[in-house]
Structure 1
Amino acid sequence: MSRIRVFIAVFSILTLSGCASQDTALRKQAELESRLESLALGSNLSNQRISSLSNEVRDLQEQRKQDTATIREMRDSIMNLRALTDEILTNKSTSPTAATPQKIEVINKEDTGAQPQKIDVPSEAYLKAFGLYSADKYEEAIESFNAFIKAYPDSEYAANAQYWIGECYYSRSDLPKALDSFNKVISNYPRGNKVPDAMLKAGYTLFAMKKPENARPLLESLIAKYPDSPAAARAKEKLLQH
């Protein structure tokens, strides 16, 4: 009987020890599972934060591109206005080449039933056409500049008018016609003050037409012929980008 009691006591102790060990293991397992859940939750939050930051970075990059494009457009507009001012100041003291200037008709398409306006002074006709360009009325500006060149082929503004025709086509993304207009400035008015600008924009146009093999030599020629001109400085910037 005493042996049976001893056996029962030992069995009870072992059983209790096993239960205690099992409880400890279960607690440790629960703790590990809790930690894993915390890590998983933290990982999800980190991934969400990283994704959010990535989206913010992309938005900032896109905004930067838009701001850069806006700044470039503003700079081009300022340079265009500055070019017009320089043209007026340069040519103001120049006497007309013809004794009696011809008349040119400048028609405002928005007017209905109005008679065409007769303008006797070439500079006024030129400014009228440039005003249409500045107002983004490119089709009307092209017609006015062409009419000006036809009426005043020997005017000091003729080369400038041809140049702005090219700018009109360039703004409309009509690259072949833009290139043709800029080339006319270079070939028809080789001593004109718009030749450097025409060479620059012809180079821009060739790059836009995916013809870098033609654009680079042209801009390099511009830099060599007119090293101190603003157009040469912009040509250097363009070459660095390509």
Structure 2
Amino acid sequence: MRSISWVVVAGLAFAASGCSDYDVILKKQTEMDARLEQLIQGSAAANKRVAELSGEVKELQARDKAQSAELDELKNTVAPQLKNLKPSLETPSPSVTELPPAATPRIEVVNSDAAPPDSDAGPQEAYMKAFGLFSSNKYGEAIEAFEAFIRNHSSHEYAGNAQYWIGECYYTQRNYPLALEAFNKVVSNYPKGNKVPDAMLKTGYTLFNMNEPARAKAALKALVDKYPRSPAAVKAKERLGHS
């Protein structure tokens, strides 16, 4: 009887160790996904800035060309006036007591206000700031920043990503009910977003942590059926194999 008890205890300890190891692996995967997205968004921001600088250079070249043309036109206008004015100054007419002042050519300054900033510069900066808070483990502040991003830029291409990372913030804090709600919003509010498979995967993980294995398995199977070739589907199959 005593030997049987030891077997049970050993089995439970092994299972607990396995769950702990799985949680560690899952956390590392999430950190890697977050770092990868940060690198991707940073690269996109750099490419965008290069394009902006290229546009600014072209605009300056165009302005320089326009100013050169204006100067040439001004020279062509003033030169004949000066040529006609010179003989009259050298031999003034007796009936003229005073020469009228030479007309000063009028130069109009063209409004050279800078072009309005790209409308995407603000949203991308706000998204990267929120993502930086998440990467720094400031989950409460990150949630607020991502929610503000969604309120201010609900139709932006990063809105679905922001909603997904809200779910990750709650998941990391073990607030599974709010994490589940956030992941479900990714699927319902942004069905064409690139984070839908990941959100479906984390929905399954969240349900497992909420002790709802039947719903969790159904969520993961739905992911595999709908996005069979996605990296998230591979992870879902692995998790189903351990359940």
Q: TM-score, normalised by structure 2?
A: 0.59
Query: Is the contact between residue 197 and residue 231 of structure 1 (CA under 8 Å) also seen in structure 2?
Result: yes
Q: Which residue in 2 is equivalent to 1:229?
A: 230
Query: C-alpha offsets along residues 43-63 of structure 1, whole Å, 9 cap, x if unaligned?
Result: xxxxxxxxxxxxxx99xx798
Q: Which residue in 1 is equivalent to 2:164?
A: 163
Cα distance in 1, alignment partners of residues 210 and 229 from structure 2: 27
- Name the aligned partner's letter for residue 73 of structure 1: K
List structure 1 segments (4+ residues) > 2 angstroms apart after TM superposition. Answer: 61-76, 83-94, 99-102
User: How far off is 1:218 after superposition?
Assistant: 1.2
Q: Report matched runs for 1:15-54 at 5 Å.
A: none
User: In 2 relative to 1, CA 205–79 (structure 1 residues): closer, same or farther, beyond 3 Å?
Assistant: same
Q: Which residue in 2 is equivalent to 1:16?
A: none
- Name the aligned partner's letter for residue 191 of structure 2: P
Query: Is the contact between residue 91 and residue 156 of structure 1 (CA under 8 Å) also seen in structure 2?
Result: no
User: In 2 relative to 1, CA 233–139 (structure 1 residues): closer, same or farther, beyond 3 Å?
Assistant: same
Secondary structure at the residue paired with 1:164? Answer: helix
Query: C-alpha offsets along residues 33-90 of structure 1, whole Å, 9 cap, x if unaligned?
Result: xxxxxxxxxxxxxxxxxxxxxxxx99xx798876665444223211222244445667
Q: Which residue in 2 is equivalent to 1:181?
A: 182
- Name the aligned partner's letter for residue 131 of structure 2: F
Query: Is the contact between residue 170 and residue 178 of structure 1 (CA under 8 Å) also seen in structure 2?
Result: yes
Q: Which structure has the larger Rg over C-alpha atoms?
A: 1
Query: C-alpha offsets along residues 149-175 of structure 1, whole Å, 9 cap, x if unaligned?
Result: 111111110000000000011111111
User: How far off is 1:181 after superposition?
Assistant: 0.4
Cα distance in 2, alignment partners of residues 123 and 134 from structure 1: 16
- Name the aligned partner's letter for residue 181 of structure 1: A
Q: Which residue in 2 is equivalent to 1:76?
A: 30
Q: Identity over the aligned pairs, expressed in percent? A: 48
Q: Which residue in 2 is equivalent to 1:121?
A: 122
Query: Is the contact between residue 227 and residue 233 of structure 2 (CA under 8 Å) also seen in structure 1?
Result: yes
Cα distance in 1, alignment partners of residues 216 and 35 from structure 2: 25
Q: How many residues align?
A: 166
1:140 aligns with 2:94: no
1:206 aligns with 2:160: no
User: In 2 relative to 1, CA 218–86 (structure 1 residues): closer, same or farther, beyond 3 Å?
Assistant: farther
- Name the aligned partner's letter for residue 176 of structure 1: P
Q: Report matched runs for 1:215-226 at 5 Å.
A: 215-226=216-227
User: How far off is 1:241 after superposition?
Assistant: 1.2
Cα distance in 1, alignment partners of residues 223 and 192 from structure 2: 14
Cα distance in 2, alignment partners of residues 165 and 220 from structure 1: 24
User: In 2 relative to 1, CA 235–88 (structure 1 residues): closer, same or farther, beyond 3 Å?
Assistant: farther
Cα distance in 2, alignment partners of residues 191 and 232 from structure 1: 17
Cα distance in 2, alignment partners of residues 66 and 180 from structure 1: 25
